[in-house]
Every structure is written in structure tokens, then in C-alpha cells.
Structure 1
Amino acid sequence: MATLTHDIPKAPPSRRLSGLGLAVLSAASFALSGPLAKALIDSGWTAGSAVMARILIAAAVLIVPALIALRGRWFLLRRNAGLITAYGLIAVAGCQLAYFNAVDHMQVGVAILIEFTSPVAVIGWLWFRHGQRPSRLTVGGALLAIAGLALVLDLISGADVDPIGVLWALGAMAGAAFYWIISADEDNGLPGIVLAAGGLLLGGVALLVAGLVGIVPLATSRTDVVLAGSDLPWWVPVLALGVVTAGLAYVLGIAATRRLGSRLAAFVGLTEAVASVLFAWLLLDQAPAAVQFAGGALILLGVIAVRLGEPTTQHASEAVAP
């Protein structure tokens, strides 16, 4: 596997600004998957079928653009075969499979909260592996963001915790952290869309195999789904799941992380929780509570604090030669 990059290049302001925009768009794209998948599940789909369709459709959409971006440089695939395989099995299939097993044993909100502590794992990895000790402002921002996440998920009233579910949720958290860390690597020469397409293809095939052997229940339905008070053909949310919430989301996420570094991108990714609540409000008529808006504000403040606390270490590949 290619060596993972150090975090947080000292990038120009324009690159950081575009990275923030891409990260927010990626988080919003990922967030849309919740309401779409919920509508499909309510119409008779299993969660595993929705996820598998989402990933395989995204892979199919990205294959041709990925081949164009590759421009015949097949040696990049050979050189990064381990990286692509790890991305597909851990960051895509493993993360989602662990998450759905977690929600099978515990409340969805608690499972998401544990998975979304992945930015803390990213900080720990960068400190342990690269000696990038977080500043007090970064730590404070992390605490604010996690507190805000708990409010957004409305966990104040408490919830039952199952040890098996916690272990699965921690596995999902590790997969999410791996996604942020591996997506930041620009030194391998692999275009982001190629990494996304290859990872999604491998991840989708892995989930398909898991379904065929009975690990993940697979069932579909052609019943119309209800979104925003309207009946839609089943294939509309399925295509949206694949094209928007996976294909577009992963490509934007990789591009954003390569501009921001894994630490900041992971914290901006927490806005996915806020966007999920808003999409559920618009599409499923699940109105958010005032405490959730307060949580969104805390997440935003936490992200700003993490941004201000970023180290100024320059990426090795961007160092100016003497």
C-alpha cells in the first residue's frame, strides 16, 4: 500500500476555500442518502440492497470518467492496487457494513454518534504516526463539534447501549477515519476519481458477495416511494443514491480532503449530520427540534476552532526546493 501522506499542507487561501466548498457539498451529498434510503426501506427494500445498489451504480457512473482521467497510465493501478483495495474494502464496504450491523443492535443515533467520532481518531493517528500534536484550540474545537453532534442527533434523553453494537460502531468509526486519512494522499499520483471508482467497484462487489453468502440481507421492491409528499418510481431514489450520494459525494470528498488535509476535512464532514436533519425535514417531513439547530451551531463553531488551530506544517511534496 502506498505510504499515507502527512496532513494539512500549507495551501494557498484559494485552495483552502475551494476545499471547504467541496467538503460541504460532499457532506450534503452523503447526507441525502439517509432520507432516500429510508424511503426505499419503507417501500420494501432492505438496507443492504439499498447500499449495494448505491455503490455499484456509483461505480458504473464513474468508470468511464476514471478511465479518461487515467489516460492509459495503467502502471498507476498496478502501483496502487493495495491502496485501491484497502479503500474499497475498508473505507467503502467495511465502513458501511459495520454501520448497518451496529444499527441492528442499537439506536441509529448512538451508532452515528460513535461513527462520527472519526475526526478524533484522525487527530490521534496524525499525532501517533506523524508527530502532529493537536493544539489546545483543535482539541477544544473537537469537543465542541462532538457536543454539537450529540445535540443534532437528539441524544440528550439517553439511549440503550449494546456492547456488540458498540464494537460494530467502532468498526464503522475506524473505516470512516481510514477514509479521511487515505483520501488526503496526493503523493501516489492516482487521480481522485480513479481512487473513487476503483474503491466503489471493489466495495460494491464485496457487499454483493456478503449478500450472496447471507451476511447482508438483500431484498428489493418496485413499489413507489414517497418523498416530499409525492409518489415517485422506485428507480428515481435508487439512481439518486448511486449518482449523487455516492459517485458525486466520494469524488468531491477526495478532492476536498486533498485540499484541506484529513484532519480539517473530517471535521467539516460533521456537517453531514446537520444536512441529514435538514433533508429529513424537507423530504420526510421530520421537523428538527430547536436543540438540533443549537447542535448545528456548535458543530460550526467546532469546525472553525479546528481550522484556526491547524498546524502550519508544510506538505513534503509542496516544499520549495532551495
Structure 2
Amino acid sequence: MVDTMRRHAGTGVAALVLSSAAFGTSGPFAKALIEAGWSPGAVVLLRIAGAAALLLPWVLWSQRHALRALVRELPLATGYGCLAVAAAQLGYFQAVERLTVGVALLIEYLGIVLVVLVMWALTRRRPHRLTGVGILLAVLGLALVLDITGQTTPDLVGVAWGLVAATGLAGHYVLAARETTLSPITFVALGLTAGGVVLALLGATGVIPMHVGGSQVAVGSGRVPAWVALVELVVVAAAVAYVLGVLGARHLGSTLASFVGLTEVMFAVLVAWLVLGELPGPLQLVGGLVILAGIVTVRLGERADARRSATGSPVDFDVPSPVA
């Protein structure tokens, strides 16, 4: 029994680390396309639509005898697609156009703190003291990342887009925690489809610029065809990343999975350095570590709060699978 549990844990950790590594490639390869003249809206639409095209046929086939359940859950999946898919990914890709990949992702991860603040306001239930400490650490880390001392001026438009991504990530944690009869993969596939439809409509009406750029993109010290970067975003950074994330979560559970998922930031910074030659400055690296420490402390506070709760089931903030 113990050996079986260990094998499941090992499989879960391996799957989630690979998922985080896959998600971490999205920012660098998207930025390579953006620097080649592609609009962020076009990049995120192609990524979402491509991943949906890979996952949705399998979902429809596997759920062909339960289509009524799919229709019943469409409102929730559509809300998830608008926030967790469209807003989170569009905000993140718009942010990496103006900020380094690491900084944009760190701002997005403040969405975890935003969830706690929103739920505090709605429930009037004071969070655990560890949660409060984590929020203060996250705010301090953000100040260091943005270098508010004035030595450098952050791109405020990029910061605003990063906060849009954080709002989308908060939507992911809130909506994905809702009860549903759909399997995680089915729910993700419907969310990707809904998000893709929303972005396509915004592009068709001219709200979000949609245009393609050069046929070659700079990767490392060389250049590769743009379609290679697009395939990487669709297959690796979206479809494979989501599937591995779901697999890992089923083996580890949401709380432990969410901690392992924080390794995405490390992978994103590493890939951005290799692909774009982009590395945050020393102060930003320190700020990033402080933000991560704050997020981990928030997690610990919510976990302690859940343990001490004698009645009811608290909202599970620890839904895994990042959305960048």
C-alpha cells in the first residue's frame, strides 16, 4: 500500500514538474513571435484555438453518450473560458510585449492573493494570520520587482495587462473550484473552446488587433520558422501542459499540486534566458523570490484555515494547473 502511494506521488510530481516546464515555455515563445511583428491577440488566439482543436474531438467522442451534461455545464465552462483562458492568456501575452517574461508571470501570480482578498470581502471571514503575512510579502515583492524606488520606470501599460492576467488567474481558482460533473480534461477543453470563440469575436470586431508578423522568429542565437514557435505553443505549452497538469493533480491532490505548480516561474525565467537572452535584474530576482515566498505563505495560511474550520467545506483555493 505504501509502495503504491509512493509510486503515485512520484508519478504526480514528475507529471506536474513537466507540466510547469511546458507552461513556462509559453511566454518566451510568444514573445519571440510578438517581437517578429505578431500581435499578442493573434498569438493567444492561435494557441487557444489550436489546443482546443486537439482536445475537443477526443472529449466529444469520449462524452458522446453524455452530451446533455456538456450542455448543462456550458455556462460555467464559458465563464471559465472568458476569465481563466481568454483574460489570463491575453493579459499575460500583452504584458510580455512590454515586460520581461519573469516579471509578467510574477505579476500574474498575484491572482492567488487576489482570490483571498475577494473571498474575504464576500464572506467577511478573516483569513489566517499566515495568509495576512503572505499578502504583505507578495506586495513587498511586487514593489521590488517593479523597482518603485525610481531607479527604473516600469511600463505601466505592461503592469496593467499583468494585473488583467492576475484577474484571469483568480477567475481560474474560483471557477475551477466549483462543483461540476465534467472531468478536468473535458472542462479544460470546453473552456479553451469558449475562450477561443470570445477572442475570435473580439478580433473580428476590431476590439483586439489581430495580425501576423514575420515568417521567421529569433530563438536563442538563431532563427526558426514562425510555425515552429506556434506548434510549440499549441502542442507543448497548451495541450500537453494541461493534460500533464490534470494527471499530476489526480495523483497528488490539489494542495500539493499547487505548490509544485509554482515551479512554472523558475522554468519561465530559465526558458526566457535561453530563448530570448532575457534575465531579470538582481533586485527583480530578489522581489520574485519574495513574491513566491508570499504565495507559499498564503497557501499555508489557507491550508491551516481549512483544517481549523469545524463546519462547512471552504473554497479550495489550491486548484492546480497554471494558465499562462
Separation (CA, whole Å) in 2 of partners of 1:300 and 1:151: 13
CA positional deviation for 1:174: 2.2
Matching residue's letter, 2:82: L
Gaps of 5+ in 1: 1-11, 318-322
After superposition, the Cα gap between the structure-2 partners of 1:188 and 1:145, relative to the gap in structure 1 and judged at 3 Å, is same
CA positional deviation for 1:237: 0.8
The answer to whether residue 77 in structure 2 is matched with residue 75 in structure 1 is no
The answer to whether residue 273 in structure 2 is matched with residue 281 in structure 1 is yes
What is residue 238 of structure 2 aligned with on the other side?
246
What is residue 159 of structure 1 aligned with on the other side?
153
The more displaced of 139-148 and 230-239 is 139-148
Partner of 1:239, secondary structure, is: helix
Separation (CA, whole Å) in 2 of partners of 1:123 and 1:24: 25
What is residue 224 of structure 2 aligned with on the other side?
232
After superposition, the Cα gap between the structure-2 partners of 1:152 and 1:251, relative to the gap in structure 1 and judged at 3 Å, is farther
After superposition, the Cα gap between the structure-2 partners of 1:176 and 1:19, relative to the gap in structure 1 and judged at 3 Å, is farther
Matching residue's letter, 1:55: I
Correspondence for 2:168 among 161, 169, 175: 175
Separation (CA, whole Å) in 2 of partners of 1:226 and 1:145: 33
Matching residue's letter, 2:233: L
After superposition, the Cα gap between the structure-2 partners of 1:212 and 1:181, relative to the gap in structure 1 and judged at 3 Å, is same
What is residue 113 of structure 2 aligned with on the other side?
120
Partner of 2:274, secondary structure, is: helix
The aligned runs of 1:48-127 (5 Å cut-off) are 48-70=41-63, 72-98=65-91, 114-127=107-120
The more displaced of 238-247 and 280-289 is 280-289
What is residue 193 of structure 1 aligned with on the other side?
185
Normalised by the length of structure 2, the TM-score is: 0.75
Matching residue's letter, 1:63: L
Deviation per CA, 1:240-298: give whole Å up to 9, x if none.
1112222233445566678325x983x76554443322111111122444444434543
Matching residue's letter, 1:276: A
CA positional deviation for 1:172: 3.5
Correspondence for 2:254 among 225, 250, 260: 260
CA positional deviation for 1:31: 2.5
Deviation per CA, 1:65-114: give whole Å up to 9, x if none.
3235435211221221111111112221233445566778x767876665
After superposition, the Cα gap between the structure-2 partners of 1:151 and 1:67, relative to the gap in structure 1 and judged at 3 Å, is farther
Correspondence for 2:39 among 42, 46, 50: 46
CA positional deviation for 1:169: 5.1
The more displaced of 55-64 and 143-152 is 143-152
Separation (CA, whole Å) in 2 of partners of 1:135 and 1:316: 16
Q: Is the 8 A contact 2:74 2:190 kept in 1?
A: no
Gaps of 5+ in 2: 315-324
What is residue 199 of structure 2 aligned with on the other side?
207
Correspondence for 2:209 among 201, 217, 237: 217
CA positional deviation for 1:41: 1.8
Q: Is the 8 A contact 1:25 1:249 kept in 2?
A: yes
Correspondence for 1:36 among 29, 41, 46: 29
Separation (CA, whole Å) in 1 of partners of 2:139 and 2:262: 9
Partner of 2:223, secondary structure, is: strand
Separation (CA, whole Å) in 2 of partners of 1:123 and 1:115: 15
Separation (CA, whole Å) in 1 of partners of 2:141 and 2:257: 16
The more displaced of 226-235 and 22-31 is 22-31
Deviation per CA, 1:189-237: give whole Å up to 9, x if none.
2111111111111211221221122112222245222212232222111
Separation (CA, whole Å) in 2 of partners of 1:121 and 1:39: 30
CA positional deviation for 1:145: 4.0
The more displaced of 172-181 and 308-317 is 308-317
Partner of 1:188, secondary structure, is: coil
What is residue 321 of structure 2 aligned with on the other side?
none
Between the two proteins, the alignment pairs up a number of residues equal to 301
Q: Is the 8 A contact 1:126 1:133 kept in 2?
A: no
CA positional deviation for 1:132: 5.7
Deviation per CA, 1:156-214: give whole Å up to 9, x if none.
6353575x8776654433222011122233x3121111111111112112212211221
After superposition, the Cα gap between the structure-2 partners of 1:21 and 1:148, relative to the gap in structure 1 and judged at 3 Å, is farther
